Chain A
């Protein structure tokens, strides 16, 4: 819908978004190798300091390299004097692992059920659709709050319960795609060659459903990052001191008038990540649709 690009090429916006995501993923993986303070290291002389503040205190206790004698808080510090760069980089681990793993559950379970429903039809389809309708009947955030409240908020539970919520969404997309595919010539051809229905399902239907469903999954990733952020913001995500973007935004909420950067910087980082996933999904979708039309 957005991102108009000329011809059948992925535009500039697409590559910028890819670059940002690569940067975020790279920093999440390499976080512990950076010369940054630990995310919970407090510097009482630099509370809520602005981006660019320089400290000459030795904030790296067990490092002897020369760089450690002074340190620039590129993005400033929070109300407890913790480095925002470090907290954002370490916090990206939570956002990314929830954002990427939860939709994976939905993609595998929901995608498979959707293919089954769309391919076999009949009572199997009605049962799957009915179960999905029941999951969809819950208001997502409230279900999430309840599950993490009763089972405890740790990474596993969070990924599992968010993943559960994405199952119906993927199921619906996969069902629609496989329904459309089941009537096409190449499936008929496979049937005529005497292939069994399981073979057709896995060799003909599933490979053709994977790409559109996975592209759709990028939009779900964006949504999951926001949902995790909302939970952490309410203090019901991964408990502190583990840094998370939503938690950081919540911590800055109290000092929004004096030091808005404490909330706004993580909010901006989260926004850029979410918008990048959305843009990539959107660009790929129109790219593949255009490709199909040209055939």
Chain B
């Protein structure tokens, strides 16, 4: 329980650091922040309003605290370009990113499970070495290149699916899922390697246990030994890694959403950067980072709760 307290303390500390840094970013801009935020077409009245809004005449600590108070109550200000509330815009975009992350992880699992199992069952065989070699090469392909390769293969050469054309979930579920296939695939094609390696090495350990020998001695066919006896005890680390990867892929989502024109939060961040919409960028960075910290902390806690061995060692960061 002491470790839970320690982790909770660290969580609060990290969230505070994240918020301070995001706040500082917009306040450390060179020149008068109000002019930068307002953009070139801002009138004097606009500048005055912005200055009021940001409270620029006050001490920076006072400003940070009041910004923090507003942010905590869900008020992240409004975009100076579209006049829409920042938080509202982000919340509308969030489901797209979540759907992308979930679909890509499922696809990665579909690749990683069979390959990891086969790799463990016949470790150091031709198949295993081949899969490992492909995996090693795959990790050297950046996600934006993988996305282009996916588009080139599936939508230009094979003409199976269009590269862009997002359909909202509320309009048509089938078409919506179809628009996620290529984006999901381009994350999954890189993602499977990490999952496969984790599963393979855990499974090799499991297959050396006595009860597996027992199951084999009973005369069970290999697929039953692998799937019914070995898979479950071997998939523990896999689940943890899967959770951590979801956090990591918030960054990947930025790139993939941009390439496939998916209206998710990553795309929103990039569009706001292009449009120099400072308030929106600040909001996106804050929410993505806090989401990332929350996911990692939850996974970390689950790990601590589930695996008694970790509890004594303390932090398992990252």
Contacts and interface: CB of A to CB of B under 8 A. Distances in A.
A271 interface: yes
Interface in A1-27: 1-2
Nearest to B124: A4
Contact of A249 (B18, B26, B148, B296): B148
Interface in B103-128: none
Given A1-B132, A2-B133, A2-B136, A142 B17 contact: no
A41 to B, nearest CB: 26
Interface residues of A, number: 44
A139 B250 contact: yes
A138 interface: yes
A44 to B, nearest CB: 26
A132 B17 CA distance: 12
Given A137-B18, A138-B292, A150-B29, A271 B317 contact: no
B152 interface: yes
Nearest to A246: B144
Contacts, number: 121
Contacts of B139: 278
A14 B274 CA distance: 42
B234 interface: no
A226 B255 CA distance: 12
B142 A234 contact: no
B106 to A, nearest CB: 21
Contacts of B21: 138
B156 A257 contact: yes
A149 interface: yes
Given A130-B10, A137-B14, A138-B289, A230 B142 contact: yes
Contacts of A149: 273, 281
A271 B318 contact: no
A253 interface: yes
Contacts of A278: 136, 139-140
A142 B285 contact: yes
A256 B148 contact: yes
Query: Size class of B's contact patch?
Result: 35 or more
Contacts of B247: 139
Interface string A130-164: 10111011111111011101100000000000000
A11 to B, nearest CB: 14
B248 A139 contact: yes
A274 B143 CA distance: 13
A222 interface: yes
A271 B141 contact: yes
A31 to B, nearest CB: 23
Given A260-B152, A270-B145, A234 B255 contact: yes
Contacts of B317: 129, 132-133, 136
A228 to B, nearest CB: 10
Contact of A226 (B25, B136, B142, B293): B142
B258 A142 contact: no
Contacts of B144: 229-230, 233-234, 246, 249-250
A235 B254 CA distance: 13
A136 B17 CA distance: 12
B262 interface: no
Contacts of A77: none
B254 A271 contact: no
Interface string A211-251: 00000000000100010011001111000000000100110
A263 interface: yes
Contacts of A150: 25-26, 28-29
A264 B141 CA distance: 12
Contacts of B22: 146
Given A2-B133, A150-B25, A256-B152, A229 B142 contact: yes
A137 B292 contact: yes
Contacts of B13: 130, 134
Contacts of A147: 25
A275 interface: yes
A270 B142 contact: yes
A130 B148 CA distance: 39
B299 to A, nearest CB: 13
Contacts of A141: 251-252, 254-255
Interface in B7-45: 10, 13-14, 17-18, 21-22, 25-26, 28-29
Given A142-B254, A146-B285, A267-B149, 5 more contacts: A134-B13, A138-B18, A141-B255, A142-B288, A145-B273
Interface of B: 10, 13-14, 17-18, 21-22, 25-26, 28-29, 132-133, 136-137, 139-145, 148-149, 151-152, 156, 247-248, 250-252, 254-255, 258-259, 269-270, 273-274, 281, 285, 288-289, 292-293, 296, 315, 317-318
| Among all A-B residue pairs, the 10 with the closest Cβ atoms | A141-B251, A275-B140, A226-B142, A274-B140, A137-B14, A139-B292, A233-B144, A2-B136, A267-B145, A139-B251
